[in-house]
Structure formats: C-alpha cells, structure tokens
C-alpha cells in the first residue's frame, strides 16, 4: 500500500519471561516474535518499518533477522506514547502510520490490510483494533457513547469498577493519520496513575479536534494475543502451529498427526506429500510433491525435490534431488547437493559434499568434503578422511566407482572412473581408471600362537 509506514514497539524488558534475553527475541517455531511482526507489517504493504528498542537495545538489533528495518531508541520506558515519540523523525505527515507491538506475533497481514482499508475509506484520524474477550483483566477498555461510537480508552489500572466490567479491549494495534499522530503526541501529558505517556490518550486528543476516531472489532481475538510469559509463549506457539498446519493441509498436504508436527511459517510443501508424526520442519525449507517425511525428522533450510523419502533423519542447509531416499538415522550437514535417485541409508553422515545421480551410500559411512559422481557404490563403513589435524581436504570419486567395505580414502585423493577399492583398504594416492586398488597388509596366520600365549 502506498504511503504506509509501521512503528513496532519493542523496548520493554519483559520481566515475567524471567530470561536474560529480551522478550521480543523469544522464538515461536524458530523465529523471533518481533520478526513475525516485522514481516507481517511488510506483508500488508508497509513500505518502511521502524522498531523502537530500549531494554538491551543492541541485543535486540542484532537478534532481528528481517532486513530493511530502522531503529529508534527509548532509553527510559515512560509509556507507549513516549515510545512513539522516540520515533518522531520516522513519522511522516503524508503517510498513514501503523503502530504494532513486538510481542504480538499472531497478527496477520490480512487483518492489517483490512484495518488500513477501513481507516482510509471512512476517513478516520485514527483507527484502533478492538476485541471482545471473556476475561479483560489487564487490558485497556474501549469506552463507547450511547450511540455506540468510540469515546475513549481507559487503562485497566485507571479504570473504575464499572469500567472494568466492559469486555471490549484495546489490542494496541492502531492506524494513525501521520499529521494527526504528530500533533497529538505534542499534546500528551503523564497525568495518570503510572506517570506515563499513554498512546491511548492520543485518540481522545484527536477526537477532540473533530476528527473521526473508531474502534474496529476483530473477529479473531487470538491474533492480538500478547506474550508476557513462557506460558503465554507456549500458548501462542500452539495457535501458530495449528494455523500453519491447517494451511498446508488445505493446500493438499497430509499431516498424519498435526498435534505432533512443527512447521515454520516460511516452509513450502508440495501437494500429496505426507508428513509423519514427530517432524520439525523450519527455516526456508522447500519440499516438493509426493514426498514422505518422517517420522521424527528435522529439516532446516532444506530443499527436497519430488518423490523424496526422508525417514527419521536430520537435514540442514542442503539440497536433495528427485526420488532420493534418506535414512533412517542419516545426518545431512550443510552445503550438500545430493542428486536424483540417490540412497543415503542408515547411520550415514554427509557434509559439504556433492553426490551424483544414482549413487548409493547404504549404511555406516562418512562422506565429508567429497565430490562424488554418478552410480557410485559406497560400501558399509566407507570413510572419507578429510581432516589432517590442521586443514580440510577434498576427495574426488568419479562415476561408477565401487568402494568396498571399511575403506578409507585419505584426502586429498582422486579415484578415477570405474575403479574398485578393495574392502579394508586405506587409499592415500590417486587411483587410475578401471583398476582394482588394494591397500592393506597381507593376512598372516601364525601357527601355535595361542598355545604359546597360554
């Protein structure tokens, strides 16, 4: 949307989290709460985003992964109005200003887009999102006049007994006309029980100038769930998990046990893929169609082609081609490129390696810093010895090579096309094409040794 900017308040300590880490950096499904809010603001059309930091400001700045964010410092926490004042240079009189909170990760871009639409179509000076809840304790109350129009917001601590009976609450989400916001901030005072500058007072100030102020009741109160403790963090994570899993199932993915499946918000999964119980899929993972993942697998920033089976294994920052099988109990470490119709079997570890189409690594092997071609067979116990104690070196194994069981290839070394490595060999020199390489001591039988030992 044109002429829309967002200010995200993230300066508070969050003492109820009982943590050394600032509240807004606590994660839900491997992403910080404040990053969810930043991405949602951008997703609904905010061209620029400013995060107001305060408690452990540098840690918050470093912890935010979203790009293109500016910051304002609230050195002393003197209320929400004071926090927005600290972003005064960011406020544009010719734009609408969205005010969000860094501890409300469940807000959706669709809701914010509708809020902006209502705000602009009805010509409000400010629009606030409200919600009706069973227990409004601790929240500011929306007070309306006899005609049902917005009148003011009363903070819980300042509310009378009668006002506390109102169950329509302020979610803390606002859209201000930029000029009206700037003018009202200049008139704020801290004449209240807490001695703070309340952003909510800006609404009454704008209303008194004759501008339209309205509260729009949200349909889903869960979107505005604020996280203030570890218990609430877990509750928010459950809501987010259910929301994400439902989206994938509606898009044609089978999730066998949604209650026991954890999928990050940026994950993409193709239709007719089956996710078995106990899986954690996170980061920028992309899974193709007709795959089967799990049970009990973890994928982080992975890319899987179509028809992949990934069973009871871990994969990190790597790419797997079509119709490849991985696991059980395999470990794909970062920077691996594994081709089509490859078998990476049980207790196999692959690290920083390229594996060509049709290659088989059935079990009990370590393939590290290796460029492996197509249709290679790595026997049980194949080890690429890549570390000399100071530096890592690469191994090259060309197409069609057969590596026997319990063989060590000591890098840097190259095994040329079509050769065989005898079982139990330790290869330290390059192997030519289509030969048998044997590098092991000749077996010796010593007669009478047992008797002498006795």
Question: Any catalytic annotation for residue 55?
Answer: no
What letter would DSSP give residue 387?
A: B
Q: Exposed/middle/buried for 179, CB within 10 Å: 0-12, 13-18, 19+?
A: middle
Write down the catalytic residue from 26, 55, 82, 363. Answer: 363
- Angle value at C-alpha 294, between 288 and 297, nearest 5 degrees: 100
List the beta bridge partners of residue 215: 128
d(CA 194, CA 4): 32
d(CA 292, CA 146): 59
Angle between helices 200-208 and 178-185 (to 10 degrees): 100
- Give the DSSP H/E element, type plus range, for residue 182: helix 178-185
Beta strands in 156-310 (DSSP E): 168-177, 212-217, 254-255, 262-263, 268-269, 274-275, 280-282, 286-287, 292-293, 298-300, 303-304, 309-310
267-276: long-range contacts, CB 8 A cutoff, minimum separation 24: 270/306, 275/248
d(CA 136, CA 148): 19
List the beta bridge partners of residue 262: 280
Contact 255, 248 (CB under 8 A): yes
Peptide bond into 328 cis (omega under 30): yes
Active site residues: 363
């Amino acid at each position: 949307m044109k002429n829309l900017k967002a200010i995200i308040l993230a300066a508070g300590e969050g003492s109820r989290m009982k943590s050394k880490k600032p509240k807004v950096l606590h994660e839900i499904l491997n992403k910080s709460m404040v990053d969810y809010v930043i991405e949602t603001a951008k997703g609904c059309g905010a061209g620029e985003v400013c995060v107001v930091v305060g408690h452990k400001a540098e840690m918050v700045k470093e912890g935010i992964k979203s790009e293109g964010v500016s910051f304002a410092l609230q050195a002393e926490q003197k209320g929400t109005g004071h926090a927005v004042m600290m972003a005064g240079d960011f406020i544009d009189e010719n734009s609408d200003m969205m005010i969000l909170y860094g501890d409300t990760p469940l807000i959706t871009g669709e809701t914010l887009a509708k809020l902006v639409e209502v705000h602009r179509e009805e010509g409000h000076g400010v629009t606030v999102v409200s919600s009706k809840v069973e227990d409004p304790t601790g929240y500011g109350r929306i007070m309306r006049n006899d005609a049902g129009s917005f009148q003011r917001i009363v903070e819980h601590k300042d509310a009378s007994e009668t006002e506390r009976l109102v169950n329509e609450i302020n979610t803390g989400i606002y859209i201000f006309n930029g000029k009206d916001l700037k003018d009202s901030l200049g008139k704020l005072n801290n004449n209240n029980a807490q001695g703070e500058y309340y952003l909510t007072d800006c609404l009454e100030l704008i209303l008194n100038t004759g501008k339209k102020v309205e509260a729009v009741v949200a349909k889903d109160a869960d979107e505005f769930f604020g996280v203030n403790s570890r218990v609430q963090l877990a509750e928010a994570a459950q809501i987010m998990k259910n929301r994400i899993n439902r989206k994938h199932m509606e898009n044609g993915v089978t999730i066998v046990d949604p209650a026991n499946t954890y999928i990050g918000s940026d994950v993409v999964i193709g239709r007719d893929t089956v996710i078995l119980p106990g899986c954690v899929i996170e980061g920028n993972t992309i899974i193709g169609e007709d795959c089967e993942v799990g049970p009990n697998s973890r994928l982080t920033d992975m890319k899987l082609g179509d028809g992949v089976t990934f069973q009871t294994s871990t994969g990190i920052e790597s790419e797997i081609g079509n119709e490849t099988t991985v696991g059980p109990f395999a470990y794909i470490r970062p920077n691996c490129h594994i081709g089509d119709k490859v078998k990476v079997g049980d207790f196999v570890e692959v690290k920083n390696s390229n594996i060509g189409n049709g290659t088989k690594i059935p079990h009990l092997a370590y393939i590290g810093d290796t460029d492996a071609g197509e249709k290679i067979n790595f026997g049980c116990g194949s080890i690429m010895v890549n570390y000399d104690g100071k530096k890592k070196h690469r191994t090259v194994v060309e197409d069609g090579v057969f590596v026997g069981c319990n063989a060590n290839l000591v890098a840097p070394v190259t095994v040329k096309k079509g050769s065989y490595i005898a079982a139990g060999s330790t290869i330290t020199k390059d192997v030519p094409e289509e030969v048998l390489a044997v590098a092991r001591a000749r077996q010796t039988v010593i007669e009478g040794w047992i008797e002498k030992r006795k």
